[in-house]
Amino acid sequence: MTPPPAESVAAMIRPTPVTRDSKANRDLLRVMEGGSLGYFALVALAVGAMLAAGGVWIWQVYEGLGIAGYAHPVFWGAYIVTFVFWVGIAHAGTLISAILYLFRAKWRNAINRSAEAMTVFAVLTAAQFLGIHVGRIWKSYFILPYPNQRALWVNFKSPLLWDTFAITTYATISIVFFYVGLVPDLAIARDRATGWRKVLYTILSLGWQGTSKQWKAHNRTVLHLSGLATPLVLSVHSVVSWDFAMSIVPGWHATIFAPYFVAGAIFSGFAMVLTMMIPVRRIFALEEYITDYHFENMSRFLLLTSIIVGYAYAAEYFIAWYSQVEPEQTSFWKRAFGPYWISTWVMILCNGVFPQLLWFKKLRTNVPFLFVLSMLINVGMWFERYVIIITGLSREYDPAVWGIYTPSWPELVIVAGSFGFFCQFFLLFLKVFPVVAIAEVKELEIHAKAHGEGH
């Protein structure tokens, strides 16, 4: 064989031309740059709220749970309410990334990243409340089945233990899922970043370079994680609902609870995604990536889940009446017309009635309206849990010891702090990680380009 002609080889050796970056990269990485005064103001607000709550919590540990508004027989209050609320919020992320992934609903690409992020942060926030609400936080490690000198284990029959397992599993899996999806984008960022970000992304991106082996494994992993996360997300909120359904409290003890809670969770989760993404899209001018089309799809989901939730409300009342069990009837009567009627009607209006407006396409595509509605739904869903927990407990079997619970200010501070806790993470996320799954968005672009060239 003869060696190749020298000139042809020489011809090939030329400096590679400077690469032209893709639009998606530029637009989406830009989000992470710098940070306006407003941004830092928000961060300060969030962190402040969290610190205030932390202070109150330390005081509570020192002084005793009595500083909260608990009144016999209502032994669960705002803390558990907020716990369930955040667990609910956590569900949209996994749903969007996992379930829609399995259904090959490509429109998810625009929002799944931020949704997953929310999942992670929401679960972390929720987990705080398990600790905040117990009487002896310093002994709460008893709840873990760890080998100990006492030779004493834990009670796996208790829904609270199911909770512990479900929440920890959910936190782990959603973090993993979030990160795995992030790796290719981190590589993109790595290739363009400088300074400390360069170092950070180099480490986090694990030397990703999009080779065929990597993509193969990656696709497979995402598929399997989606497959695992889908039943998980359904189980988690079922388990949370069983905290109530497994008890004998009138208004809690209902078979409908698991599906009802899951639907509610997805409902509130989507609402929260909207609440967060609408401003983000506006501020960072991402209209091109997060389009009204995405929002409309989400509002379709809102409509669907709202109908399910509304149906659950109706079913509860029907069963209470139909069962002819006096305590059940009383409990539900008190719910609607008793001391807590305001909460109940807030819940019914915000979750059951207002979302029906989404039947109109005009409103589905009206972003400001969606924003307001999503806010209302968040409020409504918090009150849903409040109504279920508090009214259930305040009117039980022994009329002699019915009681009224009203949250005390320390409780409310801590609840507010939980929002700060959640938001600080989300704000941080905006500046550190690509807010949209760039690689996946690009996949669509490239396809489009290819087909644009008429194949």
| Footprint of other proteins on 165-184 (CB under 8 A) | 165-166, 168-169, 172-173, 176-177, 180, 183-184
The reply to whether 210 sits near other proteins by the rule CB under 8 A is: yes
Q: Which is nearer to other proteins, 208 or 421 (CB)?
A: 208
Identify whether the C-beta of residue 406 lies closer than 8 Å to the C-beta of residue 69: yes
Q: Which is nearer to other proteins, 368 or 454 (CB)?
A: 454
Q: Which of 21, 105, 314, 353 binds other proteins (CB under 8 A)?
A: 21
136 near other proteins, rule: CB under 8 A: yes
Angle at 367 between CA 305 and CA 445, to 5 degrees: 90
Give the total of residues touching other proteins (CB under 8 A): 132
Task: Return the range that interacts with other proteins (CB under 8 A); candidates 34-42, 259-267, 427-435, 437-445.
Answer: 437-445
Closer CB to other proteins, 364 or 395, in the complex: 395
Candidates 214-222, 267-275, 282-290, 347-355; binding stretch for other proteins (CB under 8 A): 214-222
Q: Write out the binding residues for other proteins, residues 295-334 only, by CB under 8 A.
A: 323-330, 333
Min CB(340)–other proteins separation in Å? 9
Nearer to other proteins, 160 or 307 (CB): 160
3-state SS track over the chain: CCCCCHHHHHHHCCCCCCCCCCHHHHHHHHCCCCCCHHHHHHHHHHHHHHHHHHHHHHHHHHHCHHHCCCECCECCCHHHHHHHHHHHHHHHHHHHHHHHHHCCCHHHHHHHHHHHHHHHHHHHHHHHHHHHHCCCHHHHHHHCCCCCCCCCCCCCCCHHHHHHHHHHHHHHHHHHHHHHHHHHHHHHHHHHCCHHHHHHHHHHCCCCCCCHHHHHHHHHHHHHHHHHHHHHHHHHHHHHHHHHHCCCCCCCCCCCHHHHHHHHHHHHHHHHHHHHHHHHHHHCCCCCCCCHHHHHHHHHHHHHHHHHHHHHHHHHHHHHHHHCCHHHHHHHHHHHHCCCHHHHHHHHHHHHHHHHHHHCHHHHCCHHHHHHHHHHHHHHHHHHHHHHHHHHHHCCCCHHHCCCCCCCHHHHHHHHHHHHHHHHHHHHHHHHCCCCCHHHHHHHHHHHHHHHCCC
Choose the binding region for other proteins from 37-45, 162-170, 289-297, 351-359 (rule: CB under 8 A): 162-170
Shortest approach of other proteins to residue 210 CB, angstroms?
A: 5
One of 30, 48, 59, 72 touching other proteins (CB under 8 A) = 72
- The residues in 241-270 that bind other proteins, with binding defined as CB under 8 A, are 243, 246-249
> Stretches 82-90, 283-291, 347-355, 438-446: which one binds other proteins (CB under 8 A)?
438-446
User: Which residues within the stretch 329-348 sit at the binding site for other proteins (CB under 8 A)?
Assistant: 329-330, 333, 337-339, 341
- Is there binding between residue 64 and other proteins (CB under 8 A)? yes
Rule CB under 8 A: which of 355-414 touch other proteins?
393, 396-404
Among 91, 133, 237, 385, binds other proteins (CB under 8 A): 133
Q: What is the pattern of x (binds other proteins, CB under 8 A) and - over residues 219-238?
A: xxx--xx--xx-xx--x---
Rule CB under 8 A: say whether 34 interacts with other proteins. Answer: no
Considering the complex, what minimum distance in angstroms separates the CB of residue 125 from other proteins?
A: 19
Q: Does 149 engage in binding with other proteins (CB under 8 A)?
A: yes
